[in-house]
Amino acid sequence: MQNYLYLDSTDGVVCGLLQRDKSSVWSWKEFKDSPDQKGSALLHGQIHELLQKHEMGFDNISGVILGAGPGSYTGMRLTEGLAQIFEWQKIQIFTFYHFEVPFFCGYEQGAWFATAFKGETFIYSWANEKIEKQLIKNENLDIALDVIEDKESRFIHRSHSEENHQSSFDLISKFPTNVFEKVVLRKLRQGPYYFREIEKEFSVKGSA
């Protein structure tokens, strides 16, 4: 039996412990979700509490899996900083993007969207190996979504206000084998995915 630590602060905070059996079936030993909290205030303490509760240390961990975005800039920088520390300690790191999760779960086409701040929404759509990424002004969002015909295959990052669609967090919690077996077998190590280039993200309106 292998144990993996899961950390995600792209939108709120998730700290979990997974086990992978000899048949490559994944299950949650614990999935602690704090959707309305900031990672900087919780994550370090939650890691300590989680490992203590299960009487484990990093010697018992086969790897650490992290959400690499898109999402909160501060949250992603926090987990990426932790990832680099773990790597210095020779702990294997795996990272993935939330918009990949529906595809991992078998949806061959669809769209994933998230609040991108600054009055914009990020849309990632995929079908027949064609991938498109867009930043849409919120006032134009309905028009953009109307062209996505299959409304049953729309997914969200949970802070997005759209209702009646599954979030990628829901899929991760319900179908860990579908998601994490692919992440680990492919040895994914994605860098943080920001909605915009850093210069644009922190530009001051009206500056030269």
In a domain, 57, yes or no: yes
The mean of the pLDDT values for the chain is 87
Same domain? 122 vs 140: yes
Q: List the domain range (segments joined by +) for residue 127.
A: 100-166
pLDDT in tens, 10-20: 988 899 999 99
- Determine the Cα angle at 36 with ends 106 and 138, to 5°: 65
Same domain? 116 vs 140: yes
Residue among 82, 62, 79 nearest 70 (CA): 79
Q: What is the DSSP letter of 86?
A: H
Position 206 confidence tier, pLDDT thresholds 50, 70, 90: very low
Give every CB contact of residue 56 below 8 A, 6+ residues apart in sequence.
3, 17
Global pTM value: 0.89
d(CA 108, CA 171): 15
Same domain? 57 vs 151: no
Position 99 confidence tier, pLDDT thresholds 50, 70, 90: very high
pLDDT at 132 over 80: yes
Same domain? 89 vs 174: yes
pLDDT given at position 161: 53
User: Domain count of the chain?
Assistant: 2
Position 197 confidence tier, pLDDT thresholds 50, 70, 90: confident
- At 174, the amino acid letter reads K
Same domain? 23 vs 48: yes
Neighbours of 23 (CB within 10 A): 6
pLDDT in tens, 39-64: 556 788 889 999 999 999 999 999 99
Same domain? 109 vs 177: no
